[in-house]
Amino acid sequence: MAKTRGAPPRRGDESSSQPVERVRPTASARQRRLRREVQEIQEAVVPDVDEEEVPTDDEAQQGDPVDVQAEVYGGGPEDTSVLRTYHRHVALRLWNGEDRGTLKLVSHGRKLTTPVEAYIRDIVVNSGLAPLIDCSHSLVDRGLLSAFAERWHRNTCSFHLSVGEMTITLDDVSSLLHLPVTGHLFSLRTVGKDEANMMLVSLLRVSHAVAFAETEITRGAYVRDLHMVGTFACGASALAFLYENLKDASFHNTRQIAGYLTLLQAWIYEHFPHIVIRQPNSEYEEGETLSKRWAPLRGTGDVAIVRKALDRLTYADVIWMSYEAHRVHRPFHDVSWYRGHITCGSVVFPHLPKRVLRQYGHIQSILPSPHDPFPVSGISDIHYQFLHYEDHLLEDMYRGPQMTIPGECVDDYLRWYHRISHPYLIPSDDRVANPVPRRFPRVDTVGSTSDRVGHVIVIRGLVTHGTETGGLTQEALDMANLGVEGHRTGKPSYRHVYRRRGDRSTQ
């Protein structure tokens, strides 16, 4: 397949005074952009600062502010050592009352519903990309995706929610799209016009005239032989590409979002069923990609309503581990624990499973500030590390114990998280803090029947200990337990007393 780059209007062209499409960068510009991306990641992930270079308090007072915590933001963060680009983030403007509205979505889901010719379909099947033909969403919710884009942060590659951080991982891509997540990271090479013409004719079976006309209006071409795509970790590169588009959409002056939005919408459908409107897809069959399980509804959600729902999000509203029943069809792959960088061409982003341990079934711990220190090198080294991902997995000692209740985290995690993040986007004076999930014993180890019922009620998030509702529920369960025990032992109980009173009233 060929991907061509458009050329800018020539000087003196009469049409140059009219609005033109954005000029795509040249090869030299892409190289400069790549160097900037790698440098930014190095600064964010591995701060290279010597102790001698840190100014003293007197020096800081004499010069410009250098302390990352000097800036105070309403609603957080108090400590900006993690979210270093928060001053440019849309969340800051939203908190101050500047609403950019709903983003324009650049999605090509409808195009994938076009029938594919047999000879091209065979190539796509061999490439491992066949699931995309049938699972792409033709409808995407602008309000829903816009609200989640407001929560994304490039510094952590995660969504910052009221319950902590969550993100789209390699395991999500594997389960939702069934794309390969191991192999070579995707890359492109520049070819000349003559070679591009030959590849267009042989691969796409277009005429020489069509191929020549296409390359004549471009400045070279990017071409990749589809017969080789089967060796690539297309899922990892698709994830890096989505990270890139979420990063762009998180800035206030951005008005649109692109990328493979089916992945983002399907991820939201699986993890946040209580804040979205979804309906089962009647054409879905067990074992197919999970992105096909739900059929999007026609229409656009209100970004303000979704934004408010995310501010009120509770642990019971989140499904932390959505794919357990699907593991028989798509087993968990060790590469999902990969701790390093993923790329899509010149786009480079870190994959950080330690920030979202609850999505892996483990208790979330407090993270070192600002980030986990792993080295960043050139693109070729990143490709080599991912190809040998077994040597770059998150160690068992950092994964911690497994969760016993959904959303479980260490005691001080939320306190730390509120310091380095902005869990809410809408100012409110009567907001109640989200209670921290408590650890409870397994259901089969709880003694009485009513205790088991109470255990299940709390785990499912129906009530919370320490609240008025929780106290009334516990009192009712205690009464029920007393009645059951009295029935077993023959001792007086509330149940027996109630019956005797009823008997006397009928006499």
Q: Are 139 and 300 in contact (CB under 8 A)?
A: no
More confident: 489 or 88: 88
Q: What integer pLDDT is reported at residue 157 of this predicted model?
A: 95
Average pLDDT, integer, range 358-378? 79
More confident: 488 or 349: 349
Residue (of 391, 380, 393) closest to 352 by Cα position: 393
Strand partners, 165: 160
Q: What integer pLDDT is reported at residue 355 of this predicted model?
A: 95
422 is written with which tokens?
A: 């902005």
pLDDT tier at 275, thresholds 50, 70, 90: confident
- What is the three-class DSSP state of 261? helix
Q: Is the pLDDT of residue 19 over 80?
A: no
Cis amide bond preceding 77, omega within 30: yes
Q: Are 158 and 362 in contact (CB under 8 A)?
A: no
Helix axes 261-271, 234-249, angle to 10 degrees: 90
Q: Are 240 and 347 in contact (CB under 8 A)?
A: yes
Question: 454-490 burial, b if ≥16 CB within 10 A, otherwise e?
Answer: bbeebbebebbeeeeebeebbeebeebbbbeebeeee
Q: How far apart are CA 127 and CA 199, in angstroms?
A: 17
Average pLDDT, integer, range 289-315? 88
pLDDT tier at 49, thresholds 50, 70, 90: very low
Q: How far apart are CA 363 and CA 406, in angstroms?
A: 9
Arithmetic mean of pLDDT over the chain = 75
Lowest mean pLDDT among 187-201, 210-224, 277-291, 484-498: 484-498
More confident: 146 or 465: 146
- What is the three-class DSSP state of 277? coil
Q: How far apart are CA 223 and CA 448, in angstroms?
A: 67
CA–centroid distance for 339 within its chain: 16
Q: Is the pLDDT of residue 109 over 80?
A: no
Residue (of 343, 339, 340, 342) closest to 357 by Cα position: 339
- DSSP-derived letter for residue 343 is E
Q: How far apart are CA 359 and CA 291, in angstroms?
A: 18
Average pLDDT, integer, range 490-506? 39
Q: How far apart are CA 203 and CA 189, in angstroms?
A: 16
- What is the three-class DSSP state of 117? coil
Average pLDDT, integer, range 295-305? 83
Strand partners, 402: 362
Q: Are 307 and 426 in contact (CB under 8 A)?
A: yes
Q: What integer pLDDT is reported at residue 136 of this predicted model?
A: 77
More confident: 200 or 36: 200
Q: Is the pLDDT of residue 16 over 80?
A: no
| Number of Cβ within a 10 Å radius of residue 150 | 25
- What is the three-class DSSP state of 140? coil
Q: Is the pLDDT of residue 372 over 60?
A: no
Residue that has been written with the tokens 């016993």 in this structure: 404
More confident: 238 or 472: 238
Residue that has been written with the tokens 């069959």 in this structure: 285
Q: What integer pLDDT is reported at residue 1 of this predicted model?
A: 44
More confident: 173 or 442: 173
Q: What integer pLDDT is reported at residue 20 of this predicted model?
A: 41
Sign of the alpha-carbon dihedral angle for 313, 316, 317, 321: positive
